[in-house]
Structure 1
Amino acid sequence: MLVNRMQLWRATNAAAALNAATARLATQHNSPANRRDMHLASHRIWSAQLSRHSMCLVPPQKLVPPALMGSSALRFASTGTGGLPESVSTKEIVDLPDIPEAPTPPAFSVEDVSSDVLNAAGEATFASIGLGGWTPVGVVQNCMEFLHCTWELPWWGAIAVGTLVVRTIIFPLVILAQRNSAKMNNNMPQMQLLQLKMTEARQSGNAIESARYAQEMMLFMRDKGVNPLKNMIVPLAQAPLFISFFMGLRQMANTPVDSMRDGGLWWFQDLTLADPFYILPLITSATLYLTIEIGTDSARLSAANMNTMKYVLRALPLVIFPFTMNFPAAILTYWACSNFISLGQVAVLRIPSVREYFKIEKMLTHAPSALPTKKKGFVGGMKESWDNMKITKEIEERQRLDEIRFAKAGKGPLVKTFKYDPTKPKPLPTVEPHMRLKEPPKE
């Protein structure tokens, strides 16, 4: 056992020496002839070590002569025998070529780049950076890219022109809403009177009178050509446009489009960042307030019993200011331009000749005494609205209880409300003995 371990230790040391000698030969000689000599030397050393180790570890009866091994004999890569036995076959060494170096890339030129990567302005196209497409947001981005590249407009100019085009397209809807608003204002006393009667009938629980006044209100508005839903045409048409512009410009700022970093104006040169001086949020809130005050008809809101909504709209610019402070300048540029264009449209429609051309009726001014509904202010309006809600809830609860009692009375047993059965003859009243009349004496 100890002899075997010693032989194994000597074989290990010989293998380490062989590896060191091979490394030295590889570093000193790199020609094909030297490589062949290195292979022959390494094979001689391995053959000597293998034979020595086999004689020590392998039993004599298991040793096979090389002549009897046949095709399984060891083969050495060498052009000559090199002193090896003739029974050992040889094989010519094939010199592999060196690994070629990496090819040099071709020279870059703008002409070689496809038009799908760079646009006419020499900037990356929106399609190459993941923008654009055929969705509403993508169409807005494609229009912005067209205005910026084809017309060579700065980004703030492209946003302003795009906003002007969109507001011009929906201008006929603004005219339609102004016509309807003028008709509602001129017929406000009659509408307020019917509205007041309908409210009183509903609060008193008289559903028939409330339905009758509601029918009269509908017929009156049909005769006068008034429809409250027409006033919602402009907000409903502008909402999808505003959302598309908002999301499209936000994606352009967050990607970001590199040319938008210096595509601003004056103090907001970088359209991808928020305004550091908070001037754009202030302008946006102020113009939104003016748009609500001038564009929204307060008389119409009063006629429709929407005093609370009027105050909510007035508070909207103050509520959104903390959120607009962190918006990119591109979004606020669009919003401010939209508000300014809206104010300009309302100012133009206030000119008498323009109103006459578009067949918009002249707004009549009603005296406060001629209106059935009096102004109560913010606190009074809120209190009245709260009282109306409470009364309406009580009436609905009373109607629900009446329906439950009616259903229970129709399904349950009869309730006895009489002292005798009406289907049988009425019994005679009983008379006490002391109350009976005495018979007269017989003569």
Structure 2
Amino acid sequence: MNSTSLQASKAASQMCTSGHSRRDMHLTSSWSSQLNRRAGAIAPPTLLPLYSSAGTLRYASSGTEQMPESVSTKELVELPDIPEAPMPPAATGLDNMSQQLIDAVNLAGEPSFASIGLGGWSPVGMVQNCMEFVHCTWDIPWWGTIAIGTAIVRTIIFPLVILAQRNSAKMNNNMPQMQLLQMKMTEARQSGNALESARYAQEMMVFMKEKGVNPLKNMIVPLAQAPLFISFFMGLRQMANTPVDSMRDGGLFWFTDLTMADPFYILPVITSATLYLTIEIGTDSARLSAANMNTMKYVLRALPLVIFPFTMNFPAAILTYWACSNFISLGQVALLRVPAVRDYFKIEKLLTHAPSSLPKKKKGFVGGMKESWENMKITKEIEERQRLDEIRFAKAGKGPLVKTYKYDPTKPRTHTDQITSNLEKSSKDK
């Protein structure tokens, strides 16, 4: 027993001798016990201070079976039980979905994308969130997650591919008439006959409207796929640069680490080869033999070779998405070549035109480049000629009048002037 307990006991004995009741003594003992707890004192577990009716202090055992009869058990105060902790409110709606996503991430044993600075509500962040959900919910490796995400996106834009294929078939079947009008329009423009060129251009517009042909429809799939490709590209690049630890062994075959470039350069080669086939076959746009692709086909064919030095250093995750997208495109065009499928989607059958029936003859690479260069030179000369004509017209309107007659036509002529002019005219006739 410490000094604080002795002081409390003395105070209690003094109060007892001064004639206080047992309840007061019990309150005093309770106060002393609270004081001991606040002071950090620990009382002996087997001794409790008790007071007899005569006011003398004594100690007894803490057990109730050994408690003296002088102390009544009714005077003991029992503290109420500690209430249980309140239950948190049940999550509903969006909170429930968020909690399920957090639980899935925790079950996968990986940190969430939000904790490492990925995800969000931007297009790139939404792509990352979707891939995280697929990977963590179904425990799919990252290469499978990227392939599934690519397949879903390509399925969504598949109606646009059908629209482009319909337009491409119509352009192929009406190629001779369109090439003829284009040649006439080009010749009129090169000869400087703007009126004739505008007339042929109007005829071309009317013809395409009657046949339901629109060259811009061939570009609808690349334009729709561009923002999706950029979102996937930036999202996967951020995931590889952060990096996401599970992507280090989430690859397949020889490219197990998706955060690093392919050490054998096999993925860049596959990506470039499938891109070339996609451009050549015309999966997402018109075929290269179409009338509107003659000037760009060589540039598009060289594109896979040009981008290869850049793609060889890309992380394997980006090339996995790119190669999957190209393979899906090739599968779609193979499916759309089946006659039954083309009939179901109302795509016209492609007609094969003999080279002799086409106004424009096929030329090689060198011949095509020469023709393009000649057209550029002629176009530049026509523009220079028009510019000079405009300058001369402006000078004629603002400069002094040029004298074109030997006499002033605004003044009356005399008889002598008339005789002189008649003599000059007769001499010229002789």
* Normalised TM-score (structure 1): 0.69
Following superposition of structure 1 onto structure 2, how do residues 9-20 of structure 1 map, counting pairs within 5 Å?
A: none
Partner letter of residue 167 of structure 1?
R
Letter in 2 for 1:425: R
Q: State the shift of 1:148 in Å.
A: 0.4
In 2: Cα distance, 1:251 partner to 1:427 partner: 98
Q: 1:313 aligns with which of 285, 289, 300?
A: 300
> What's 2:413 paired with?
425
Q: Name which of 222, 228, 245 aligns with 1:235.
A: 222
Matched, 1:137 2:124: yes
Q: How do 1:55-66 and structure 2 match up within 5 A?
A: none
Task: Quickly say closer, same or farther: Cα 1:418–1:150, change in 2 above 3 A.
Answer: same
Matched-pair contact (CA < 8 Å) for 1:117–1:128: no
Amino acid at match of 1:411: K
Shift in alpha-carbon separation, 1:153–1:213, aligned structure 2, 3 A: same
Task: Tell me which amino acid in the other structure corresponds to 2:346.
Answer: K
- Which residue does the alignment assign to 1:402? 389
Structure 1 residue 120 displacement after superposition:
3.3
Instruction: Report the CA distance shift for 1:299/1:372 in structure 2 as closer, same or farther (over 3 A).
Output: farther
Match for residue 177 of structure 2?
Answer: 190
Aligned residues: 317
Decide which of 266, 278, 285 is 2:253's aligned counterpart. Answer: 266
Change (3 A) 1:220 1:118: closer
Per-residue deviation, 1:117: 11
* Aligned equivalent of 2:320: 333
Tell me how far 1:115 sits from its aligned partner. 4.2
Distance 1:234 1:154 in 2: 29
Given that residues 289 and 314 in structure 1 are in contact (C-alpha distance below 8 angstroms), is that contact kept between their aligned partners in structure 2? yes
CA distance in 1: counterparts of 2:241 and 2:413, whole angstroms: 96
Structure 2 residue identity aligned to 1:303: A
Looking at structure 2, the residues matched to 373 and 206 of structure 1 have their Cα atoms a distance apart, in angstroms, of: 21
The verdict on how the C-alpha distance between 1:379 and 1:427 changes in structure 2, with shifts beyond 3 A counting, is farther
Instruction: Give the residue type in structure 1 aligned to 2:416.
Output: L
Please name the residue that 2:22 is paired with. Answer: none
Which residue does the alignment assign to 2:274? Answer: 287
Q: What does 1:84-95 align with in structure 2 at a 5 Å threshold?
A: none
Q: Provide the rounded CA distance (Å) in 2 between the counterparts of 1:395 and 1:430.
A: 45
Identical counterparts, % of pairs: 84
CA 430–333 in structure 1, closer or farther in 2 if over 3 Å, else same: closer
| Equivalent position of 1:165 in the other structure | 152
Counterpart contact for 1:264–1:270, Cα < 8 Å: yes
Equivalent residue, structure 2, for 1:248: 235
| 1:301 Cα offset (Å) | 4.8
- 8 Å Cα contact 1:192-1:373 kept in structure 2: yes
> Is the 1:185–1:300 contact (alpha carbons within 8 Å) kept by the matching residues of 2?
no
Inter-CA distance 302–369: structure 2 relative to 1 (3 Å threshold): same
**1:340-419 residue pairs with structure 2 within 5 A?**
340-419=327-406
Shift of 1:205: 0.2
- CA drift of 1:363 comes to 0.1
Contact 2:272 2:308 in 1 (8 A): yes
User: How much does 1:418 deviate?
Assistant: 1.6
Q: Distance in 1 between matches of 2:156 and 2:122?
A: 19
Distance change >3 Å, CA 275–CA 205, structure 1 → 2? same
TM-score (normalised: structure 2)? 0.71
- The one-letter amino acid of 2:413's match is P
Q: SS in structure 2 opposite 1:119?
A: helix
Please tell me whether the aligned partners of residues 269 and 308 of structure 2 are also in contact (alpha carbons under 8 angstroms): yes
Shift of 1:288: 0.7
1:122 equivalenced with 2:109 (yes/no): yes
Q: CA RMSD in A?
A: 1.9
Distance in 1 separating the partners of 2:129 and 2:417: 102
Task: Say which SS state the counterpart of residue 138 (structure 1) adopts.
Answer: helix
Q: Which amino acid aligns with 2:412?
A: K
Q: Please name the residue that 2:204 is paired with.
A: 217
**Cα drift, residue 413 of structure 1:** 1.6
Instruction: Please state whether the residue corresponding to 2:270 is helix, strand or coil.
Output: helix
Kept after mapping to 2: 8 A contact 1:249/1:330: yes
SS at match of 1:120: helix
| Deviation for aligned residue 1:196 | 0.3
Segment of structure 1 superposing worse, 116-125 or 276-285: 116-125
Contact 1:120 1:150 in 2 (8 A): no
Question: Residues 301, 424 of structure 1: CA spacing in aligned structure 2 closer, same or farther, 3 A cutoff?
Answer: farther
- Tell me which residue corresponds to 2:42: none
Instruction: Write the distance in 1 (CA, Å) between the matches of 2:179 and 2:102.
Output: 64
Structure 1 stretch 119-128 or stretch 350-359: which is displaced more?
119-128
CA contact (8 A) 1:184 1:300 kept: no
